[in-house]
Amino acid sequence: MPGRAFYIGLISGTSMDAVDAALVDLTPARPQLLAALAHPIPEDLQRRLRALADPAWRGDLDEYGALDVLTGELFAEAALAVVDKAGIPAVAVLAIGSHGQTVRHRPEATPPFTLQIGNPHVIAARTGITTVADFRPRDIAVGGQGAPLVPALHAALFRSSDMDRVVLNVGGIANVTLLPADDSHPVTGFDTGPGNTLMDLWTRRQLGRDYDKGGTWAATGTADAELVEAMLADPWFALPPPKSTGPEHFSRTWLERHLEGRTLASECVQRSLLELTARSIAQAIERHAAGHGELLVCGGGAHNRTLLQRLRECLPGMHVMSTAQAGLDPDWVEAVAFAWLARQTLRGLPGNLPEVTGASGPAMLGSIHPGRRRG
């Protein structure tokens, strides 16, 4: 299709319930979302991926290698499904940007590292589409945290000359992007702590569901002030940006340690975890973005009505709304970002923001895995 620049973005977050796939036309100044879907991850693969991502995992390299290939096959299926949904031939797609599935993120380790699986060679071979992957390790190699990477797209899409904005992504981990109206001031951003990861973990354990839809279960409980304060006392929250984290830190073991010796109704634990998410986000914004006028929310947490209401209460001076009101469905912002990052890589342009990740400078991210010859 002459004159069009079609890219696919693929990502699976810490919930590990689906691969988000977005087909984007990057010809216009603002990315145009043409089709998107959540491609389910089979239950057995979910179970094995969660076991691998658990910091306590002590499996063997055969399991790691098998999951890398199986996840790559799944990502390829998601890519082919989204082009089919859009009615666009795969050969018309210039590239896939695949974030992969994070199984470890240790930017503060010695040496620092991050691991995403979903073999890009498999994706390129199955789809015939050039695949760009492994975005995070290059940023870490030049001294950065490897995350968050989506703020570069936030700046391109949501920066306004009329007011200071904050973009909040509530995935498994929550992160913010600070967008000053004055373009002489840099865009900054960082992880704020747990988003959905602890709430999802507790919901799976207590209810056997993947997540608390709309925050309705949390709304039936009362937050335990002592538990919330104990969780907020974790030294990670006091670290200055740039910083990033993951479920390796805010893990099942971390939660069990805080619950030890407490007798609380399960719904009150859930409400306390929601309060932890809301309070840690609000405190980070108050500390680093006081006076910003709008909070644009994306990610799965944008659908948690109880969480959004609590954010409005914690941040009474801000207008809290979905990124949909600024032109992009909150469910697909991250997938669109990795399509955009793939184009950056193919153009030889940097994809990180050093002010966000703490890298020593701008870096071209990712490795390129050619598809079938075009034409």
Digit-coded pLDDT (tens) for 330-345:
999 999 999 999 999 9
Q: Report angle CA 124, 156, 76 to the nearest 5 degrees.
A: 15
pLDDT tens digits for 272-314? Answer: 999 999 999 999 999 999 888 999 999 999 999 999 999 999 9
In this structure, are residues 99 and 120 in contact, taking their beta carbons and an 8 Å threshold? no
Does pLDDT of 351 surpass 70? yes
% of the chain beyond a pLDDT of 90 = 93
Does pLDDT of 374 surpass 70? no
pLDDT at 70: 98
- Phi/psi for 283 (5° steps) reads -65, -40
- Phi/psi for 78 (5° steps) reads -65, -40
In order of 21, 109, 133, 232, 322, the CA distances from 370 in angstroms are 19, 32, 11, 46, 36
Whether domain 151-326 has CATH 3.40.50.720: the reply is: no
The two structure tokens encoding residue 344: 């950056």
pLDDT tens digits for 23-74? Answer: 999 998 889 999 999 999 999 999 999 999 998 899 899 999 999 999 999 9
- Which band of pLDDT confidence, cut at 50, 70 and 90, is reported for residue 244? very high
> 189: helix, coil or strand?
strand
| C-alpha span between 108 and 219 (Å, rounded) | 35
Can 6-146+333-369 and 151-326 be said to share one CATH topology?
Answer: yes
pLDDT at 338: 98
> 373: helix, coil or strand?
coil
Tell me which fold the domain 6-146+333-369 belongs to.
Answer: Nucleotidyltransferase; domain 5 (3.30.420)
Mean pLDDT score, 79-90: 97
| C-alpha span between 340 and 135 (Å, rounded) | 12
pLDDT at 372: 87
pLDDT at 14: 80
Q: Is the peptide bond before 370 cis (omega within 30 degrees of 0)?
A: no
Mean pLDDT score, 160-170: 96
> Which of these, 9, 247, 220, 229, lies nearest to 135 by C-alpha position?
9
pLDDT tens digits for 190-237? Answer: 999 999 999 999 999 999 999 999 999 999 999 999 999 999 999 999
Mean pLDDT over the full length of the chain? 96
pLDDT at 291: 87
Q: What is the reported pTM?
A: 0.94
Q: Is the peptide bond before 194 cis (omega within 30 degrees of 0)?
A: no
Mean pLDDT score, 306-332: 96
pLDDT at 293: 92
Angle between helices 252-259 and 225-232 (to 10 degrees): 130
pLDDT tens digits for 2-31? Answer: 678 999 999 998 888 899 999 999 998 889
Alpha carbon of residue 247 to chain centroid: 12
Mean pLDDT score, 323-327: 94
The two structure tokens encoding residue 172: 């498994």
Q: Where are the domains of the chain?
A: 6-146+333-369, 151-326
Mean pLDDT score, 130-158: 96
